[in-house]
Amino acid sequence: MLIPFLTAKIHRATITGCDINYEGSISIDEEIMEKAGLRMFQKVDVYNINNGARFSTYVIPWPRASRGIVVNGAAARLVQPGDMVIIAAYALLDEKELNSLNAVIVNMASGNEIEKIIHSKL
């Protein structure tokens, strides 16, 4: 049996932009993506701390060191620049995989600077 487990989380990132006319996705600074272990087109859930909205989308890169977190497409109606969000990625794992994987939690500070990175054993 496969069970969903958190594998990556970007905690308290600030939305820097919204583009309703884009086809969809969340754009994340490439450096933040790498630190969290996220890949282009990977599915993520986004939880808006300010208004409680939740949605699923996929990741695309935003320019490195820009500190940008931009929500695109229809989901752009669920956030505003300045909102704080949690971005979470999950994987379906079986019992054998649990001991070999770590969850990565990237805690963000103001300006989307990386405050701390935690690697937690699953």
Active-site amino acid positions: 25, 58
Residue 91 burial (CB count, 10 A)? 17
Quickly list DSSP for 7-57.
EEEEEEEE--EEETTSSSEEEEEHHHHHHHT--TT-EEEEEETTT--EEEE
